[in-house]
């Protein structure tokens, strides 16, 4: 199988040449005994033509059983089969598999695919990276297939639907009702035909051919339900029962449960599978791990969750070994209740959604709180410390989203609520800014309600919420939460405590972002003088506070004060950190910015040249930070009227940006807009207009709606055309 070749380099730079074809995401393996279903498969391969979007959903025909089991019709397996068939036939340059349990999983799946297909390090806000990838899909000549498996809600794909004449999109979902029928062709999936069901059963029962006795009658009773066939063949294949004997047991159970309203074959066969685990298990009852799995993301559960200390204790009531716990998971698989994909590291466990729902429904109410607590602790114990950009981190997030969503207030009945904090932090680490803010809003409200407003974790939630609001560009909403935490820290620690001073600096940054620079300056002046008294005038914490105070003065229009403060910061950093230190160069750049704003061009150019030289020496001539510094130098030459030099530098930065970051990178688009302004200034109106039109078109295609860069480019084009 062909694999992508990627060589990580510096952040936001190309990760190396992409060697086609490439894949992204974990495609589940085809199940043991899989058949291609030539009679019941709904013409998927023919429908899934380039440029088309197809959804596989249950065909809601009569006689399929109770609604709880309608989704168990083999949609994912059909999607796996067609995806791998297209891949092996060489019809795809790019295959992307995304387990679409929630919007977070879709966004992180897009980020991974962008890294693989576009050859970039997908740093930055996840929504922006997704928009870039969708834009790339729309214009690439590469053939691609994106599979959204187990789409829980069409709203999770709002603004994220891929499109392109060379691409195919395949969705599996349990409920197609809210899909856009103009966009998506829905194919209804039924159960197996009689012939397919018999073929499947025969293929699964090969160890003892005597067990096939009565297979035809059993198939008729099971009615072609794939899940029931999986469970029946699993029980028969791991026992001494024949098909006829299993059917006898099945009919007795059917008669017993029909009185309680249970009539679906799968609703009965799963209970027989659970009962069979007692006969298979060598470690005692294994149902606790089945209950544990039912609260997590049934699409993809990391195997390490089941071998965590919490899960092992839950299994035996004592301390089972990791090997015993994993043996219990294998037992559940042998009984047809779970499936294990051993290929990833760690292995991945999946569970049919109908079984998960049935297990939760069957769990006694008095045991649910314990199950929720164990599941939360198991996730926390197994969660990897280093989760950057991995499918494993995405799997833990999805299971945490599943558990916190289903548990509701139960999560706060014990220490299980700490999972909500871990989930929020993971969202922030994955740059899921638009999702992190509402998550922390819910956590902060729940913390106040269940823990009390004075609880340390309630204050920590407020801190996280303030940070999330600020990261999402919602600075005004962040301010009350910053104020709340600062008030508590001041009360508990005193105004001179280092933690209080550091938080005042954070509040000052938030006030600047909220366009309240005068208030920011007041807060930051106090923080600076407190830091100077506590840490000393040359301490890095003090210099940071002074630098942010200078930012506030500049934002407030106090130019002379900001120049004075920036010069002081720069001089101290040169002495303490050295002339080439990144923070020293950052201070020089800020000083150049304020010089430029006050039309002190000579002084501004001197600072910008210094920054460019320092970046070139430290990072090379074409690193993204060097390109950014050169673009700022070009802007300074432009403002000073030295257009020949400005044009040369603008063109260099644009060319390097296209080569290093790509033509559709937001930074590249911003630099093209700058170059277009310069072209207009030297009288090349046609060239400026064409460049801006191209920039606007690309911005509208790859950036989220309402992005400031798109607005600025569109306004620039309007001004030039209307001039």
What's the CATH number where 150 sits?
Answer: 3.40.50.300
pLDDT at 191 > cutoff 90: no
- Residue 234 in any domain: the answer is yes
Quickly state the pLDDT bin for 149 (edges 50, 70, 90): very high
pLDDT at 8 > cutoff 50: no
- Residue 511 in any domain: the answer is no
The stretch 470-476 carries a mean pLDDT of: 94
Count the Cβ atoms, other than its own, within 10 Å of residue 345.
Answer: 10
Q: Based on the fold, state whether residues 171 and 39 are members of the same structural domain.
A: yes
- What are the phi and psi torsion angles at 648 (to 5°)? -60, -45
The stretch 143-162 carries a mean pLDDT of: 95
Q: Based on the fold, state whether residues 234 and 361 are members of the same structural domain.
A: yes
Place of tokens 């039924």: 190
Under DSSP, is residue 149 helix (H, G, I), strand (E, B) or coil? Answer: strand
pLDDT at position 1: 31
Looking at 415, 449, 473, the residue that finishes a domain is 415
Task: Enumerate the β-bridge partners of residue 167.
Answer: 144
- What are the phi and psi torsion angles at 513 (to 5°)? -60, -30
The token duo for 535 is 């840490």
Of 9-13, 411-415, 649-653, 700-704, minimum mean pLDDT range: 9-13
**Order of strands, edge to edge, in the sheet holding 339-341?**
301-302, 348-350, 339-341
Q: Mean pLDDT score of the chain, rounded to an integer?
A: 91
The stretch 307-325 carries a mean pLDDT of: 92
The stretch 432-437 carries a mean pLDDT of: 96
Question: In this structure, are strands 94-99 and 53-58 parallel, antiparallel, or unpaired?
Answer: unpaired
Euclidean distance between CA atoms 191 and 221, whole angstroms: 13
Looking at 164, 191, 218, the residue that finishes a domain is 191
**Order of strands, edge to edge, in the sheet holding 167-172?**
22-24, 94-99, 144-149, 167-172, 53-58, 185-189
Per-residue pLDDT tens digits for 162-173: 999 999 999 999
Q: Based on the fold, state whether residues 382 and 328 are members of the same structural domain.
A: yes
Euclidean distance between CA atoms 305 and 262, whole angstroms: 32
Per-residue pLDDT tens digits for 616-625: 999 999 999 9
Per-residue pLDDT tens digits for 526-569: 999 999 999 999 999 999 999 999 999 999 999 999 999 999 99
Question: In this structure, are strands 348-350 and 339-341 parallel, antiparallel, or unpaired?
Answer: antiparallel
pLDDT at 142 > cutoff 50: yes
Q: Based on the fold, state whether residues 109 and 238 are members of the same structural domain.
A: no
Under DSSP, is residue 99 helix (H, G, I), strand (E, B) or coil? Answer: strand
- Residue 91 in any domain: the answer is yes
Nearest by Cα to 263 from 271, 272, 254: 254
Contacts 24+ apart (CB under 8 A), 137-141: 137/162, 137/163, 137/164, 137/167, 138/162, 138/163, 138/164, 138/701, 139/164, 139/701, 140/164, 140/166, 141/166
Per-residue pLDDT tens digits for 243-256: 999 999 999 988 88
pLDDT at position 389: 59
The sign of the CA dihedral 654, 660, 665, 667 is negative
Place of tokens 């923080």: 527
Euclidean distance between CA atoms 657 and 698, whole angstroms: 15
pLDDT at position 485: 95
pLDDT at position 95: 98
How remote is the C-alpha of 241 from its chain's centroid?
A: 46
Per-residue pLDDT tens digits for 355-393: 999 999 999 999 999 999 999 999 999 999 887 657 899
pLDDT at position 128: 87
Q: Based on the fold, state whether residues 175 and 99 are members of the same structural domain.
A: yes
Whether this model's pTM surpasses 0.85: yes
Q: Which domain holds residue 78?
A: 22-191
What total number of domains does the chain contain? 2
Per-residue pLDDT tens digits for 579-594: 999 999 999 999 999 9
Quickly state the pLDDT bin for 68 (edges 50, 70, 90): very low
Q: Based on the fold, state whether residues 359 and 236 are members of the same structural domain.
A: yes
The stretch 49-64 carries a mean pLDDT of: 80
Q: Based on the fold, state whether residues 229 and 349 are members of the same structural domain.
A: yes
Tell me, letter by letter, the H, E, C secondary structure of 621-652. Answer: CCCHHHHHHHHHHHHHHHHCCCHHHHHHHHHH
Q: Based on the fold, state whether residues 358 and 300 are members of the same structural domain.
A: yes
The token duo for 516 is 């309240």
Count the Cβ atoms, other than its own, within 10 Å of residue 626.
Answer: 23
Euclidean distance between CA atoms 593 and 607, whole angstroms: 9
Q: Based on the fold, state whether residues 236 and 118 are members of the same structural domain.
A: no
| CB proximity list for 200: less than 8 A, separation 6 or greater | 33, 35, 192, 229, 233
Looking at 154, 173, 191, the residue that finishes a domain is 191
| CB proximity list for 537: less than 8 A, separation 6 or greater | 572
Q: Based on the fold, state whether residues 153 and 228 are members of the same structural domain.
A: no
Tell me the DSSP string of 228-243: HHHHHHHHHHTSS--H
Nearest by Cα to 580 from 608, 603, 613, 538: 613
- Residue 339 in any domain: the answer is yes
Quickly state the pLDDT bin for 59 (edges 50, 70, 90): confident
The percent of the chain in helix, strand and coil, each rounded to the nearest 5, is 65, 5, 30
Per-residue pLDDT tens digits for 82-111: 999 999 999 999 999 999 999 999 999 999
Q: Based on the fold, state whether residues 215 and 348 are members of the same structural domain.
A: yes
The stretch 489-505 carries a mean pLDDT of: 94
- Residue 348 in any domain: the answer is yes
Q: CA angle, corner 720, sides to 719 and 721, nearest 5?
A: 95
pLDDT at position 17: 77
pLDDT at position 378: 98
The count of residues in the chain is: 723
Per-residue pLDDT tens digits for 128-140: 899 889 989 998 9
What is the enclosing helix (H) or strand (E) of 126? Answer: helix 126-139
The token duo for 397 is 């997030």
- Residue 447 in any domain: the answer is no
- Residue 692 in any domain: the answer is no
Euclidean distance between CA atoms 674 and 638, whole angstroms: 10
Euclidean distance between CA atoms 113 and 120, whole angstroms: 10
Euclidean distance between CA atoms 517 and 322, whole angstroms: 56
Euclidean distance between CA atoms 454 and 169, whole angstroms: 50
Euclidean distance between CA atoms 129 and 474, whole angstroms: 20
pLDDT at position 69: 64
- Residue 423 in any domain: the answer is no
Q: Based on the fold, state whether residues 185 and 231 are members of the same structural domain.
A: no
pLDDT at position 281: 94
């Amino acid at each position: 199988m062909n694999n992508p070749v990627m060589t990580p380099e510096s952040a936001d730079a190309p990760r190396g040449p992409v060697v086609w074809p490439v894949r992204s995401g974990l495609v589940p393996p085809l199940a043991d005994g899989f058949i291609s279903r030539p009679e019941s498969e709904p013409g998927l391969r023919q429908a899934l033509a380039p440029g088309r979007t197809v959804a596989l959903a249950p065909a809601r025909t009569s006689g399929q059983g109770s609604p709880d089991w309608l989704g168990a019709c083999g949609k994912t397996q059909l999607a796996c089969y067609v995806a791998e068939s297209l891949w092996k036939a060489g019809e795809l340059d790019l295959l992307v598999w995304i387990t679409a349990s929630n919007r977070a999983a879709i966004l992180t799946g897009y980020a991974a695919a962008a890294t693989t297909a576009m050859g970039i390090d997908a740093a930055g806000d996840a929504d922006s990276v997704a928009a870039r990838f969708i834009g790339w899909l729309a214009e690439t000549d590469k053939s691609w297939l994106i599979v959204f498996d187990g789409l829980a809600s069409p709203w999770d794909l709002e603004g994220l639907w891929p499109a392109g004449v060379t691409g195919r999109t395949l969705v599996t979902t349990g409920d197609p009702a809210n899909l856009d029928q103009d966009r998506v062709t829905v194919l209804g999936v039924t159960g197996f035909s009689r012939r397919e069901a018999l073929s499947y059963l025969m293929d699964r029962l090969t160890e003892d051919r005597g067990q096939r006795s009565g297979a035809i009658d059993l198939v008729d009773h099971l009615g072609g339900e794939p899940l029931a066939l999986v469970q029946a063949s699993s029980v028969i294949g791991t026992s001494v029962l024949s098909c006829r004997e299993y059917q006898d047991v099945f009919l007795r159970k059917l008669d017993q449960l029909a009185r309680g309203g249970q009539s679906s074959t799968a609703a009965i066969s799963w209970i027989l599978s659970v009962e069979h685990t007692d006969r298979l298990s060598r470690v005692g009852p294994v149902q606790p791990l089945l209950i544990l799995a039912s609260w997590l993301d049934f699409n993809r559960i990391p195997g390490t969750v089941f071998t965590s200390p919490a899960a092992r204790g839950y299994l035996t009531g004592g301390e089972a070994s990791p090997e015993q716990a994993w043996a219990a998971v294998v037992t559940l698989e042998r009984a047809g209740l779970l499936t294990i994909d051993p290929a990833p590291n760690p292995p991945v466990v999946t569970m049919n959604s109908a079984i998960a729902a049935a297990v939760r429904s069957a769990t006694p109410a008095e045991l649910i709180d314990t199950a929720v607590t164990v599941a939360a602790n198991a996730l926390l114990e197994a969660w990897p410390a280093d989760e950057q950009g991995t499918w494993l981190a995405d799997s833990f997030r999805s299971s945490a989203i599943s558990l916190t969503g289903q548990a509701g207030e139960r999560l706060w009945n014990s220490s299980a609520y700490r999972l909500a904090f871990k989930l929020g932090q993971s969202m922030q680490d994955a740059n899921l800014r638009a999702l992190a803010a509402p998550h922390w809003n819910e956590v902060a409200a729940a913390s106040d309600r269940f823990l009390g407003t004075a609880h340390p974790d309630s204050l920590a939630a407020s801190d996280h919420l303030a940070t999330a609001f600020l990261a999402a560009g919602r600075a005004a909403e962040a301010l009350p939460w910053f104020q709340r935490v600062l008030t508590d820290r001041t009360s508990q620690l005193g105004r001179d405590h280092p933690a209080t001073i550091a938080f005042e600096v954070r509040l000052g940054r938030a006030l600047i972002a909220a366009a309240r620079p005068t208030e920011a300056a007041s807060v930051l002046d106090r923080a600076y003088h407190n830091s100077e008294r506590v840490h000393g005038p040359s301490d890095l914490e003090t210099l940071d506070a002074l630098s942010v105070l200078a930012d506030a003065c500049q934002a407030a229009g106090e130019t002379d004060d900001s120049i004075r403060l920036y010069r002081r910061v720069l001089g101290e950093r040169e002495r303490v950190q050295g002339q080439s230190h990144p923070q020293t160069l950052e201070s020089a750049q800020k000083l150049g910015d304020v010089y430029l704003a006050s039309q002190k061009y000579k002084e501004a150019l001197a600072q910008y040249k210094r920054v460019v030289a320092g970046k070139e020496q430290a990072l090379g001539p074409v690193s993204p930070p060097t390109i950014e510094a050169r673009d700022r130098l070009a802007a300074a030459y432009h403002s000073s009227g030295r257009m020949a030099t400005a044009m040369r530098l603008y063109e260099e930065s644009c060319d390097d940006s296209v080569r290093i970051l790509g033509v559709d990178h937001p930074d590249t688009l911003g630099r093209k807009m700058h170059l277009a302004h310069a072209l207009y200034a030297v009288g090349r109106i046609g060239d400026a207009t064409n460049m801006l039109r191209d920039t606007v078109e690309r911005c509208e295609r790859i950036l989220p709606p309402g992005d400031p860069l798109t607005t600025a480019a569109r306004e620039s084009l309007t001004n030039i055309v209307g001039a």
